[in-house]
Each structure stands twice: as C-alpha cells, then as structure tokens.
Structure 1
Amino acid sequence: MYQSYDIIIIGTGAGGGTLAYALKDSGAKVLLVERGDYLPREPENWDTRAVFAEKRYKPEEKWYDDSGQPFAPGVHYVVGGNTKVYGAVLLRLREQDFEEIVHEGGISPAWPVSYQAFEPYYTKAEELFFVHGKVGEDPTEPPRSKAFPFPEVPHEPTIEQLAAKLRDQGLRPFSLPVGIDLREGGRCVRCKTCDGFPCKLGAKADAEVCGVEAALQSPHVELMTRTFAQRILTDPSGRRAVAVELVRDGERFTVHGGTIVVASGAVNSAALLLRSDSTAHPDGLANQSGLVGRNYMVHNSTFLMAVHPIWQNATSFQKTLSVNDYYFGKNDFPYPMGNLQMLGKLQADMLKAQKPFVPKPILGRIADRSVDFYLTSEDLPDPENRVTLGANGRIQIRWKPNNLVAHRQLVQETKRMLRRAGYPLILTQKMGIETNSHMCGTARFGTDPATSVLDPYCQAHTVQNLYVVDSSFFPSSAAVNPALTIAAQALRVADHLMQKSEFTNEKIEYCET
C-alpha cells in the first residue's frame, strides 16, 4: 500500500489536534493518526463508578518503573487524547517561567524564546478553546494583549464564601481560567462530572471538539483511528523523514509524508523516536544529543481535602478558584512553591478508588463536607529521570521526584490558609508516578543541538522535516497546567510551517534499519 500526504500528524491531543485545526486551510494534504478511537458519548461518561472504579476509558496498558514494577499510567488513547478527561484549566505560564529561576531544589532553566513570542499564540489558543476568565485578579498574571474571550465562571456560594475568607487573610484568590462552553447558547450545564470525566454534551473545550472536528471539515484533512505508529523511516542519509510505519487491525503498512509531526504525549513521543532507530540514527531518531526520553517531568502534586464536620458543600461545578500567592515564594521562604486550584468536586466513588478499604458511606460524608484542591509544584529537569524501552518495547519510566522541600512548604501554607478559613480537618494524598497528566520534557527545545533535541519551532535539529509538537518540548515544567502552552506552541509551529511552505511528498527510499 502506498499513500502520500504533505503532513502526517501522529496524535490528536492538545498538540496534534490544535495543529491539524491550524493547518486545515493551508491547502496541505494532512493525515491525522490516532491509536485509539472516538470516545463515545454515553451515560457512563458521567458515571463516577464507571470512570474511576471500573476505569472504563483507560487502556489496559502497563508501564514499568525503574525497579521493574508495573503501573497503570494516566493516559487515554482516544480522539482528543487526554484532553477528553482533563479539567479544562487553561492557564498561561507566568512571564518569569520562560526565564531561569532559582528554586530551593536547583535551577529551572530558561526557555529559548521569551513569553512575548508566545503571547499572541496564547491569545489565539484562548479563543480557540473558548477560555473563560477574568483579567486583573491573579497576582502573577503575565502581560496580555487582549482580555479573556469570555467572562469568568461564577463561583457557587460555598466557593464564593471561601474566596471571601481568603481575601480576609490578605490573599488574592482569582477566577480559574477554564474552557467550558458557557458561551451564549452554550452546552455546559456546570455538572459535577467534568474534571476527570469525558463530557457527554461536548461542552468541554477539548482537542476533539475544538481542533479535530473543525479540521475534518476540510477536504484536505483525513483521520485514521485505531492506528498505531510503530516507526518513522528516513532516507539513507538520515537527514529527512520520509514515511511512517503504521499498524491497524493487525495490518502493517506505510504512509509517506513531506513533513512528519509527532504529537503523542511526552512518553509515547519519546518511545516512538526511540523505536525509530536505524543505521543513521542508532540511538533513536533525532537522538544525536542523547536527550530523547531524558529530563522527564511530571510535577509534584498533592490532592487536598479541607473538611468541616458540619458545613455542607453543595457545590456542583467546583473548579472555579485558584491561588497563586505562593507561586514565587514569600518572605520567609523566598523560593517558588507553586499553584493551588480547586479540583472538580470529589465524590465517594472517586475516593473509593484511592481508599478501597474505607467504607463508602464514610467517604461520602467526608466528600459532602469538603472543599477540594490540587496543589502543583515545579519539578526540575534531571537527565536521569527518563523514558526508555525495555523488553519487547515496553515503556519504562525512571522518575525520582525532586524540589520536594518547596512542595511540602506549599502543602503547609495551604493547610494554614484553610484552617484559618474555618476547616479544621485537612486530608492530603501525594500523587505518585502513575499520576502523569502533566508529563513533559522528553525532547526539550533549544538553540544548541548538543543540549536539546528540537529547535525553537520544535523541528528536530538533525532531521530537517521532523517536528515534535506536544509537551515533550518543555525545557522546564513551571507549576501550572501545560495544555494551553502546548496548544499555543502548536499554533506557532503551524505559522512556521506555512511560512516555510516546504511540504513535499515524493517517494524516497528508506534508510536501512
């Protein structure tokens, strides 16, 4: 079988789905490749037990830690990728996050481009993902050329009361920027089943709804589902990628592309490059620096429940408030700590998945009386934290958390803040290796081919028409959700590709494998 495209995009999440949208009117013939299928809209989308206990939408795939122990990663192989179940929080990185920052645990390196290079693309991404927010509340808010495209999501009464109590402490809580369809005539009903759930109404700003659906309206864009990208093939020199070896329903075949974009997520993109070794690239495709798979980051994160024995929390859509007062530290701890934001409202079956031996009625009473937070601190790039391939190509993750003093400090500050707000009981759960929704860093971008895999437009230094457009390119993780930055970079790369106008799809002989 011989099929030829101008651009092949492997992955349909925040990077791949957004890139396909941005290229839909370019005239280029685009192929989107997705290893999963469409996630069905069905009653189980909002069934807490089905989603969290039965793990209905997660693959049975296992990854392995550095001691060889298997774990179930937090990935979803569907059209739209992990954005189908994300919390739709769409924060920009802070302006300082693009610069070198001294942390208690080490150095967070500077990005090869400034915040100003990303700012117009952040604006476009917020419009594409219909972000609701409010300018002027966040004390760390970076400069903006435009206001949010839609007004903030209002706090429900319990959360508004909490925000007032935090302001009384001198803190500056702000409205969390989220992508849900509360536009005029929008589909969102502000339910409890958004964060961590698929949306059966299509009201979440995910990569399928905002990117892939619109891209497929173009006659030039095609989607292959249930199709696994096994390898990327190059010409004999190794300097040009020419084709992708795919597997669909047990059949192996090859498609040719003028430009090939990997957008499978930080782990699977690294794994694909490593599987694509050849005589020209013996250590993996585009891996002359030896950095493919290295500097894996996933954030230090803790779930926190603040419980009052009497107060009931009847909030439905809880994910509307965030606090960044500790993001860059405070007087008695002059190092960055991170971000805290509301979780979607926790429910008994969600807690049962984490605490299987606690009776469900007890968990239900706790959840009914809690306000729930997600605490995120930056973990620092470490070349020994990495993705490798083991026996039979299985994925192995070595991740030793770092910068933990700062994260513990953030947890303590949050506990004090919430006790002052009237919540005497604080429960916490530190997240481990399996909670990898914010993974990044495995093919960092930069200007020096010796210290980076990609250039500032995410093109491989050593393969002229190969790009990696997902969170792999991050040289640091910052301490906010990565989705908006991935989407902004996809829009930036799309502009770069269209300016180059070098889409070619001639058939070229392969490099010897």
Structure 2
Amino acid sequence: MNVQPDVIVIGSGVGGATTARRLAENGVNVLMLERGDWVAREDQNWSVASVFFEKRYTAHDTWLDANGAEFRPGIYYNVGGCTKFYGGSMIRFRERDFNALTHKEGVAPAWPISYAELEPYYYQAEQMFKVHGDDTDDPSAPWRSQPYPYPGIANEPVVAQMASAMRGQGVRTSALPLAVDYAPTGSCSLCKTCDGFPCKLGAKLDAETAQVLPGLATGKITLQTNARVQRLLLSDDGARVSGVEVEIDGTLQTLTAKLVVVACGAVNSAALLLRSACPAAPKGVANRSDVVGRHYMAHNQTALMGLSFRENTTTFQKTLAMNEFYFGAPDYPYPLGHAQMLGKLQGGMLSANVPFLPKAVGVSMARHSIDWIVFSEDLPDPDNRVLIKNGKVQLDIRRNNLAPHKELVKRMARLLRASGYPVVLTKPLIKHSTSHQCGTVRFGHDPKTSALDAYCRSHDHANLFVIDASFMPSSAAVNPALTIAAQALRAADHILMRDFSIAVDNANLLSTAGAGHE
C-alpha cells in the first residue's frame, strides 16, 4: 500500500470509527483496516428471508463453545461493524454503574474513571449519533450537563396504551434513546426494520453513517476493506508495536505507523492479541497481566412476546424503555436490569428462530404481539474467556448472575399480562451470545490486574491502544455502544494531546461537566 499513516486503526465499528474520525478531524492521517466490505444498500436489507433465514450478512466464521463444539456466531464483518445491525439504542450507563456495585452473585468492580469524566463525551457522542431521547420519567437516569440533541420519538397508540397501563401499576417508562435521522430534513421513515436489519436508507446512525463517512470526508482517512489482520509485531524489546501483519488480496503485508489502535470487538480484539504471542510477549500482546481474553461478558438477555386478541397496528414500536427495577425494587435488594421495546416482530422472524413453527402461525402471532427485550448485568469472571484453540476462536464461558435476570423476566411478564396481554412467551438469548460483548482487555490503573490504562493505552506497549468494548471492566445492563463512542472520543483527545501535541478545544463543553449535578 502506498500509504504511510500516523495511526493504523484496525476495525471500523463504533470504537474504531469514532477514534478515527476524531483524529482525522484534527489533522492526523489514519489508515483504517476493515476485515469485511461495505454493506450494499439493496432490497435484501429489509428482507426477513434474506436477513434471518439466509443470514445474508452474517459472517461465515466457525467458533468453538465451552465444550469444543463448533457454532456459527452472530457476528458481522463489514464497514460499520455490528452496529450496521443494531437497533439504534444509544443509552448512557447509569452513574452508579461506574462504582463497585453489589449484585446477588457478586460485585461488579469500579471503573478507573467516573461518570463525571465521561459525561461531556457522552453528550458529544449523542450529537454525532443524533440521539433522540427524554429521560424525565426514568428513575435510574444519570445527571446530564446538556439535554438530548433531539426529543424522544413519540409512541404510537398501542405503545402509548402500554405505557399508560404500566404507569397504572406504579411502573414508570421513558423514551428509549435512539440514533435515527428522524427530523424534518432527515431520511428516517420510522419503519419496522431497525433491530437486526441494515438500513436501506442510511437513516440509522451507526458507525458507518455517523463516523466512517464523516471521517472519510476529511480526506485524512484511508479505508482499506477486505483486509484481514493476522497479528501484531513487536520491537525486539517488546516496548512497542513495530508492525501490523495484514492479508490483502491474498498477499501478506506489514504496515507501520506511529500508533496502532485495535478495535475489532471484544472477541476478535482479544483473539488478535493472543494470536500475536511472541518471545517478547509469550502470553500475547498487551498481556503481561494475563487478563487478555478473560472476563468476557455479554448481557443476560430474554425476549418477551405479549399476545392479545387485539391486533397491534404499530409500525415503529421501538420507542419505550423501562428502568424501574434497574437497581432493584423495595422487595428485591439487588440490581435487576433494563427493559426496552423491540422493533416490531414479523412472522418470518419468528419462523426463522423457532424450529417447526408454521409460518402462518408465526405471522398471526406477530400481528397480535407486543415485543420487549430485557437485559441484566452479567459479572466479570476471569474463567469466562476467549481462547485460541487449534487456530479457532473459542468462547469458554458459563453464565452467571442469572437469578436476578429470571426475576426481571418474571416481573416483566406480570406487567405485560396486567397490561392486557394474557399470554406471554419468553425466549432466552444467552446461548452463544455475542451481542453486547465486552470486557476482554479491561482497563484500570494497576498493570498487574488490567491490560490498558484509563485512556485505553496498553500498559505494556506505549504505542498500542484497544478502543472497543474490550476495555469495560463491567457491563452494566444497557447497550454499550454509546459508552464505547464516548470513551473513544476521550481516548482520541488524549492521543491528540499526548502523542501529537494537538490541543482539542473542549473547554466550553468540559466546563459544563458538573452542571445540574446534585
């Protein structure tokens, strides 16, 4: 390649793309390496058959589970990473999520940074992703220095009835924060195809639309697709990453830059560091602490489908969140978690995921259903880990902290029944789960117990950063995307100042960090 960048960013998901854009907008030359290619805007984007039956966009990887059995993970390799297929939820972690938090089965550890340190970057990320929200009635909402950039998306009648019925039971709901281009000049049509689908209109603000495209517009980013990084190379003394070995068009090349940012996702970032083991780093790059690949987390998740005789005519259903039990309840002292509405389920989606369900039955059920998903925090366990076994990724994990999750599901089902949906079907989504993956290259102050410092710089190698959900020491109970983006902005500002002597003018924004906080 005829490119000599200042920084190589490996991966174009939310962490890598946000970092690259921030650096490029401040004059730094960035080479972004993406394992996949662009997701074409085509009719199949919104096709249930293409997305859920044929798995047109899902990677053709084969991984191993804890027992060594092969499975095909729900992972995506393309520009924008997995956010091309997320539901657009952009939620801040709660302020208490950054402190040590006692759960029924253990303690979620404190972070090396506070909510206050990340708060101004949360707001910047919300601006970049055009987040619509209103947390007035959210009892768990953290303080904010600025209001949401856009108001919450209004509930359609059936959803509004659900919110009213829940209020009648003493449970508050609020607008689900969403990253969609819904404004008088926006392109979002509020359709049924957010969750699991790529957006044919480019109206969902994902890592491609919100970060990669604006970054490329600076002229400072070179994007190389279909580039599979094999390993990182170290200097003889192991103090620095001296090269990135990448396969492009069947040819291995070694690329160099002043800094290297790994942003492949919690599983693949850990796998890359482990694959890069060498005499200078026998346990893997950035792994003197032996934490790389450990503490894998991916929320305990269950979908709930409430059925009634009434037809649900809602088109855009994903507008409501419920955090009444986020930190527990008067009769339950431990955190339970978060609930949010799913995009409206369609018949073919049910048939694809429920074996032997006749399509006609699935279509009928979907017409009469209201659809939710609940998340509960799983805890970081050093024995839940990503490994390399016979050249393949292995997810050697066992679920924990399930009792609070089952309690949350029970309470949510009870709320649905009392709201006019007498039949409630539940489907756990924890087997081979890779959505909301995090924790495998955790950050912290102590090099003995963490791989990265508070700015996601490797303790072991001065020019290496890992900026994706890998850095998280705990998972909280909400979607991690906004927190990844906020920390990426914070880390990028640190890089600009520390490594390139470029001062970013955040003075006005930073001065508001504590405003309104009591």
Normalised to the residue count of structure 1, the TM-score between the two structures is 0.96
Q: How is 1:253-292 mapped onto 2 (pairs within 5 angstroms)? A: 253-292=253-292
Change (3 A) 1:3 1:279: farther
The offset of 1:173, in angstroms, is 0.5
| Residues 391-445 of structure 1, C-alpha deviations (whole Å, 9 max, x = no match) | 1x21000110000110000011101111111111010011123331100000000
- The equivalent residue for 1:345 is 344
Match of 2:504 in 1: none
1:394 aligns with 2:392: yes
> In the alignment, which of 418, 423, 428 is matched to residue 420 of structure 1?
418
Amino acid across the alignment from 2:436: H
Q: Equivalents in 2 of 1:207, 1:343: separation in Å?
A: 20
SS in 2 for 1:176: strand
User: Retained in 1: the 8 A contact 2:135–2:174?
Assistant: no
Does residue 499 in structure 1 map to residue 497 in structure 2? yes
Q: 1:4 is paired with a residue of what secondary structure?
A: coil
> Which runs of 4 or more aligned residues in structure 1 lie more than 2 Å from their structure 2 counterparts after TM superposition?
1-4, 432-435
Specify whether residues 320 and 65 from structure 1 end up closer, same or farther in structure 2 by C-alpha distance, changes over 3 A only: same
Aligned equivalents of 2:218 and 2:290: distance in 1?
39
**CA distance in structure 2 between the partners assigned to 1:279 and 1:4 by the alignment:** 27
Which stretches in structure 2 are left out of the alignment for 5+ residues?
Answer: 502-518
Superposition deviation, residue 488 in structure 1 = 0.4
- What is the SS of the residue equivalent to 1:409? helix
Correspondence 1:446 to 2:440: no
Name 1:469's counterpart in structure 2.
Answer: 467
Q: Report deviation, 1:217.
A: 1.2
Match for 2:373: what amino acid? Y
Aligned counterparts of 1:432 and 1:406: Cα–Cα separation in 2: 14
Moved more, 349-358 or 79-88: 349-358
Q: Deviations over 1:108-129 (max 9, x none)?
A: 1000110000000000000000
1:323 alignment counterpart: 322
Aligned to 2:368: 369
Does the CA contact (< 8 Å) of 1:84 and 1:207 recur in 2?
Answer: yes
Give the aligned partner of residue 7 of structure 2: 7
Q: 3-state SS of the aligned residue for 1:41?
A: coil
In 2, the alpha carbon distance for the partners of 1:132 and 1:104 equals: 33
Alpha-carbon distance, 1:3 to partner: 4.8
AA matched with 1:185: T
Quote the offset at 1:342 in angstroms: 0.3
What displacement does 1:340 show?
A: 0.6
Q: Give the counterpart letter for 2:95 in structure 1.
A: E
Q: Distance in 2 between matches of 1:3 and 1:240?
A: 21
Q: Quote the Cα distance in structure 2 between the aligned partners of 1:107 and 1:276.
A: 32
Q: What is residue 29 of structure 1 aligned with on the other side?
A: 29
Name the structure 2 match of 1:334.
333
Pairing of 1:91-170 with structure 2 (within 5 A):
91-170=91-170
CA distance in 1, matches of 2:3, 2:27: 17
- Indicate if the aligned counterparts of 1:13 and 1:80 stay in contact, CA closer than 8 A: yes
The C-alpha deviation readout for 1:467-503, integer Å capped at 9, x for no partner, is 0000000000000000000000110011000111349
Structure 1 unaligned segments of length 5 or more: list them: 504-513
Structure-2 residue corresponding to 1:182: 182
Q: Give the structure 2 partner of residue 51 of structure 1.
A: 51
The letter for the 1-side match of 2:457 is Q
CA distance in 2, matches of 1:304, 1:11: 33
Superimposed CA distance per residue, residues 55-104 of structure 1 (whole angstroms, 9 cap, x where no aligned partner): 00011111110111111212110000000010010000000000001100
* Matched-pair contact (CA < 8 Å) for 1:3–1:256: no
Question: C-alpha distance in 2, partners of 1:458/1:210?
Answer: 22
Partner of 2:409: 411
| 2:39 alignment counterpart | 39
CA contact under 8 A between 2:87 and 2:343: conserved in structure 1? Answer: yes
Name the structure 2 match of 1:511.
none
Q: Is the 8 A contact 2:35 2:228 kept in 1?
A: yes
Where do residues 211-290 of structure 1 align in structure 2 (5 Å cutoff)?
211-290=211-290
Distance 1:433 1:486 in 2: 24
Residue 509 of structure 2: aligned partner? none
Deviates more, 1:62-71 or 1:479-488: 62-71
1:357 aligns with 2:356: yes
The Cα of 1:357 is off from its aligned counterpart by 0.3
| TM-score for the superposition, normalised by structure 2 | 0.95
Q: Residue in 1 aligned with 2:90?
A: 90
- 1:436 aligns with 434
SS at match of 2:5: strand
CA distance in 2, matches of 1:30, 1:347: 41
Q: Determine if contact 2:65/2:432 at 8 Å carries over to the other structure.
A: no
Using the alignment, how far apart are the partners of 1:433 and 1:237 within structure 2? 42
1:135 positional shift: 3.7
Bigger drift between 115-124 and 68-77 goes to 68-77
* Identity value in percent: 50
Asked if structure 2 preserves the Cα contact closer than 8 Å seen for 1:3 and 1:254, the reply is no
2: distance between equivalents of 1:173 and 1:322?
6
Q: Return the alpha-carbon distance in structure 2 between the equivalents of residues 79 and 211 of structure 1.
A: 11
Displacement of 1:183 in angstroms is 2.1
Partners of 1:433 and 1:218 lie apart in 2 by 42
Residue by residue over 1:324-377, the C-alpha shift from the partner in whole angstroms, topping out at 9 and shown as x without a partner, is 001011111110000010011111111111112011111111111111011100
Q: Check conservation: 1:9, 1:20, Cα contact below 8 A.
A: yes
3-state DSSP class of the match of 2:177?
A: coil
Q: Which amino acid aligns with 2:465?
A: Y
Q: Write the distance in 2 (CA, Å) between the matches of 1:219 and 1:338.
A: 43
Alignment partner, residue 456 of structure 1? 454
Distance in 2 between residues matched to 1:203 and 1:149, nearest whole Å: 16
How many residues matched?
Answer: 501
Structure 2 contact 271–387 (Cα < 8 Å) conserved: yes
For 1:338 and 1:136, the matched residues in 2 are separated by: 18
The residue aligned with 1:507 is none
Q: How far is 1:2 from its partner? A: 7.4
CA distance in 1, matches of 2:285, 2:193: 40
* Aligned 8 A contact 1:336 1:406 in 2: yes
1:101-154: CA deviations, max 9, x gaps?
A: 110011110001100000000000000000000141211110000000001101
| 1:364 alignment partner AA | V
- 1:430 and 1:266 mapped to 2: Cα distance? 22
The residue that corresponds to 2:312 in the other structure is 313
CA–CA separation in structure 2 for the residues paired with 1:132 and 1:75: 27
Task: Name the CA distance, whole Å, in 1 between partners of 2:8 and 2:482.
Answer: 22
Shift of 1:450: 0.6
